[in-house]
Structure 1
Amino acid sequence: MINRVILIAGLVVCAGFGSAVAHASPAAAVGEAKPNPDTKQERVVRYRAKNGDVFYGILIDRHIRQLTNSFAEIARGRRDFSGAGHALDKVKLLAPVKPSKIICFGWTFPSHAREVGGEERRKEPLVFLKPPTVIIADKDTIILPQKLSSQVEFEGELAAVIGKRLRNAAPEQVMEGIFGFTCMNDVTARDLTKKDPSYARGKGFDTFGPLGPWIVTQIDPGDLRIQTFLNGEIQQNARVSDMTFKIPFLISYISQVMTLLPGDVIAFGTPGGSGKLKPGDKIQVKIEKIGLLTNFVK
């Protein structure tokens, strides 16, 4: 069990760590994901300006204040404004972060587990990885691998972006390491995931990870509403509180397995209602207090 927790320069160091965190009750109230009341909320964007240069910025209403900082500097609290600014509709939004890895949890919503024949109430989370090459931005196009799959589906999900290195973090400490939250579409070749237990092929095609449109900091994710719209018609509609596992537990759980680095993305699973995509579709993931992620299908 955890004998003591030491905080060093924002890192969480757990001394005397045993198996207690990894096997803690997922429904327990410990580690509720609450924002820091002393820090203001921001919408952080990554974009390409008209001259082709890529910057981070802070979005205020529909205007971007340009930063000179890298993501690592922003995650540490640096905000160095260049003095330049842009209207949101005059730049090309990029995926808000470039992660070293994308960690995904499956079957966290019983409604989705039920519709794909999975376990509705798992005792331990189901974890898999997507390669960083899946990532595309808001308004980008999902390319269907039509020669390899005939059943590509959307999965609207909430995703966390890591801000500080986390390893062996307790549930009550993990929010120290979260930079913010964003929208993700865990696009899936369902016919291939049924064949491959590792999910590597079915989840790993280029363009199968729309992410964005921005990162919202200092947000409580515990009861956010997740909705997915296909060609304007609602397909998924659930709350994060419907999940079998709480977000702090899931982050703690995976931090026992691998080190989480600044910029890494963790997607927390999709609710019931996932469905097939076809060329010409418009797919949108909307998450309360975050925004709307829109992509097209080819």
Structure 2
Amino acid sequence: MNWCRYRAGDKIVYGIIEGDIVWEATKSPFEGGIATGECQLLSHVSLCLPCIPANFYAAGANYLGHLAWAADNLGGNGKAPSRADIGYRASNSLVAQGEYITIPRDSSGLVQAEGELVAVIGKTVKHLTRRNALDFVLGYTIGNDVSERTWQSSDRTMWRAKNTDTFNPMGPWITPGLDPGALEVTTRINGVEVSHYHTK
């Protein structure tokens, strides 16, 4: 079972995907929604962002594999931070799967994709521990942390480099119950593979 949001007539609703069918949900998964009796073929609906987060963050700077890649490709030092280093992402940068990424006119043109696993938090929570953190994850989806590399090297907070309109495609749906340490993420641009990694 996967959760999605899709356009139904003149409204956007949450849906529950089972096979090639999407069932309209009574409300969001964050509110305990369940399937109604209304369904359509998944191929007949227009999928939207699977959720609209009030806040979302990037944690790539905490992963040794990502740090090693950055050191080899972007000139980073490859050292892990002494404590969690979290990057803010702005909701204006979100677009749904299949929508276009627009590169601004004043960009240097050095824009790269960063395919990433996205954890969708299901409840408001604070002061988690390593032991209970995954208990609050609703499920996982896929994101692309698009990065303008020239801006990234000069913007202290990466406000343009990673938060420009359309720079964070996400979706198409949220899948509960996955093991985040046993997945593979492949990134393709126009069908051409540009990165592939395991999350373990």
Which TM-score applies when normalising by structure 1?
0.63
Aligned to 1:272: none
Aligned to 1:94: 48
- The CA distance in 1 between the partners of 2:165 and 2:148, in whole Å, is 12
- The CA distance in 2 between the partners of 1:230 and 1:132, in whole Å, is 23
- The CA distance in 2 between the partners of 1:170 and 1:145, in whole Å, is 40
Output aligned runs, 1:72-221, within 5 Å: 72-74=30-32, 78-79=33-34, 81-107=35-61, 108=63, 109-114=66-71, 115-124=73-82, 125-221=84-180
Q: Which secondary structure does the structure 1 equivalent of 2:70 belong to? A: helix
- The CA distance in 2 between the partners of 1:148 and 1:231, in whole Å, is 20
On the 8 A contact 2:117/2:142 being kept in 1, the answer is yes
On the 8 A contact 2:3/2:29 being kept in 1, the answer is no
On the 8 A contact 1:164/1:176 being kept in 2, the answer is no
Q: Read off the aligned partner of 1:110 and give its amino acid letter.
A: L
Q: CA deviation at 1:210?
A: 0.3
Q: CA deviation at 1:204?
A: 1.0
Structure 1 residue ranges, 4+ long, deviating more than 4 angstroms after superposition: none
On the 8 A contact 1:55/1:66 being kept in 2, the answer is yes
- The CA distance in 1 between the partners of 2:28 and 2:174, in whole Å, is 14
Aligned to 1:281: none
On the 8 A contact 1:104/1:128 being kept in 2, the answer is yes
2:15 to 57, 62, 65: 57
Q: Which secondary structure does the structure 2 equivalent of 1:198 belong to? A: coil
2:181 to 217, 222, 245: 222
- Give the fraction of aligned pairs with identical amino acids, expressed as a percent: 30
Q: Read off the aligned partner of 1:46 and give its amino acid letter.
A: R
On the 8 A contact 1:71/1:97 being kept in 2, the answer is no
- The CA distance in 2 between the partners of 1:118 and 1:93, in whole Å, is 37
Is 1:237 aligned with 2:200?
no
Q: CA deviation at 1:71?
A: 4.0
- The CA distance in 2 between the partners of 1:238 and 1:165, in whole Å, is 30
Q: Which secondary structure does the structure 2 equivalent of 1:204 belong to? A: coil
- The CA distance in 1 between the partners of 2:144 and 2:127, in whole Å, is 28
Question: Which residues of structure 1 form unaligned runs of 5+?
Answer: 1-41, 242-298
May I ask how many residue pairs the two structures share in their alignment?
195
- The CA distance in 2 between the partners of 1:126 and 1:113, in whole Å, is 15
- The CA distance in 2 between the partners of 1:110 and 1:202, in whole Å, is 18
